[in-house]
Chains A and B, each alone.
Chain A
């Protein structure tokens, strides 16, 4: 009698890689997506805590630019990130000057916005623009 094990479940061999690729592609049925679903695939929804005056200013800018507050926030945030990437001195200083020790173990510092920014945000709310 042979020494090999017999019976049991018969294993299905690996798939043809081209077939597996087709199945992966098919699983993402982009044609059936609505325009909104397709756009949402590229974006994520985030939740940040910001001062109410800043929220109002972003909404005012969005209105002024004829777009949504969400898209205005994306432009403004993106612009700031680009400046940060360019090592813009003023922007990095804001972080340094606003730092106070955090009491939460999740991060080291609380960073407050400069006080004089608040009046600028409020003026957006009052006038829609400067």
Chain B
């Protein structure tokens, strides 16, 4: 039985893709899933976060050099999951593959990762640069984090549209969930944008993650909310989001 790929994507930057991808991956691993986190973002933030600032060109080596997948992975025993690291060279890989007409190899290479892990969580880049669509088309599901701001919500709309277009062409992810991030219940703007989001996406809108410095701190300390702030409200919300994801994966 092969695993499933969940892409965490929004073309808008700074909405919390890496934070969500890391916590979905670690949360699912804590729930007993065999998880692989793929850092497909050329910024390599998830890699830096989990490998304590180290740079590793794993995804480049998989896609361009042709290294076997298992040799590109890094085990993260602390969290019980594996990481396929990414770096600025991921962007180069996509440009190189695009130049020689080999971008079509990206999705199959990523799909093969489902033979290794039950769940592949993919941290996507914040743009529709070369290779973005190919990475996305490898996914079964897409989770879209967003801030409750107009421009970020436009990113959600675009992601839903891209996913739909890919599906119409015979591949690509279904929209799994939309995660409002850095939400402040006390501001009129966030309240109204939440209303918009719910009116458009209904039950696929998942619990809103509140704005808190605790999330920023976890990255600074190379940790996760589960370990650093196990009793915080934001951690409870993150656990609820992981539950939603596992529920969908289990067909609930």
Contacts and interface: CB of A to CB of B under 8 A. Distances in A.
Interface residues of A, number: 16
Contact of A29 (B188, B198, B205, B240): B188
Interface string A1-38: 00000000000111110110011011101111000000
Contacts of A32: 186, 188
B207 interface: yes
Contacts of A18: 206-208, 237, 240
B203 interface: yes
A56 B244 CA distance: 63
A13 B198 CA distance: 11
Contacts of B186: 26, 29-32
A19 B190 contact: no
A108 to B, nearest CB: 49
B195 A23 contact: yes
A22 B203 contact: no
Interface in A21-69: 22-23, 25-27, 29-32
A19 B190 CA distance: 13
Interface of A: 12-16, 18-19, 22-23, 25-27, 29-32
Interface of B: 183, 185-186, 188, 190-191, 194-195, 198-199, 202-203, 205-208, 237, 240, 244
